[in-house]
Chain A
Amino acid sequence: MSSISLRKIKKSFGALTILHAVDMEIDKGEFVVILGPSGCGKSTLLNVIAGLDECDEGQIVIEGKDVSGLEPSGRGLAMVFQSYALFPAMTVRRNLSFGMEIAGTPKATVTEKVAWVAKLLQIEALLDRKPGQLSGGQRQRVAIGRALVRSSSICLFDEPLSNLDAKLRAETRVELKQLHETLGSTMIYVTHDQIEAMTMADRVAVMHKGKVEQFAHPQSIYEKPASLFVAGFVGSPAMNFLEGRMDDAGRFVTADVPIDIDGYAFEGARPSGEAVLGLRCEDIVVVEPGTPRSVPAKLAFTELLGADALGWFDCLGKRFSVRLGVEAARSMHKEVGLRFDMAKASMFCAVSERRL
Chain B
Amino acid sequence: MTAATVRRGTAFAPRAARIGLYVFLVVSAVFFILPLLLVIMNSLKPMEEIRQGNLLALPVNPNLEAWATAWASACTGLDCAGIRPGLWNSIKITIPSVVISTLAGALNGYALAQWKSRHANMIMLLITVGLFIPYQAMLYPTVKILSTVGMFRTYAGIVFVHIIYGLPYTTLLFRNFYVGIPDEISRAARMEGASFLRTFWSIILPISTNILVVVAILQFTGIWNDYLLGLIFAGNDNLPMTVQLTNIVGNSRGVANPNVNMAAALITAIPTLVVYFLSGRYFVRGIAAGAVKG
Contact = CB atoms under 8 A, between A and B. Distances in A.
- Report if A and B associate in a common complex: yes
A102 B198 contact: yes
Contacts of A99: 191-194
Interface stretch (B139-147, B171-179, B202-210, B244-252): B202-210
Contacts of B294: 83-84, 86, 88, 131-132, 139
A89 B198 CA distance: 14
B191 A52 contact: yes
Interface residues of B, number: 19
Given A83-B182, A87-B203, A73 B193 contact: yes
A102 B189 CA distance: 10
A52 B116 CA distance: 13
B193 A103 contact: yes
A102 B193 contact: yes
Given A102-B198, A139-B294, A79 B193 contact: no
A302 interface: no
Nearest to A131: B294
Interface residues of A, number: 26
A72 B189 CA distance: 10
A84 B206 CA distance: 18
B271 to A, nearest CB: 30
B185 interface: yes
A81 B190 CA distance: 12
29 contacts: A52-B190, A71-B190, A72-B191, A72-B193, A73-B193, A77-B191, A81-B184, A83-B182, A85-B184, A85-B185, A85-B187, A86-B185, A86-B188, A87-B202, A87-B203, A88-B207, A88-B292, A89-B207, A90-B206, A98-B189, A98-B192, A98-B194, A99-B192, A99-B194, A102-B193, A102-B194, A103-B193, A132-B293, A132-B294
Given A77-B191, A85-B182, A89-B207, 17 more contacts: A52-B190, A52-B191, A78-B191, A79-B188, A81-B184, A81-B187, A81-B188, A83-B182, A83-B184, A83-B294, A86-B188, A98-B194, A98-B202, A99-B194, A102-B192, A102-B193, A146-B192
Interface of B: 182, 184-185, 187-194, 198, 202-203, 206-207, 292-294
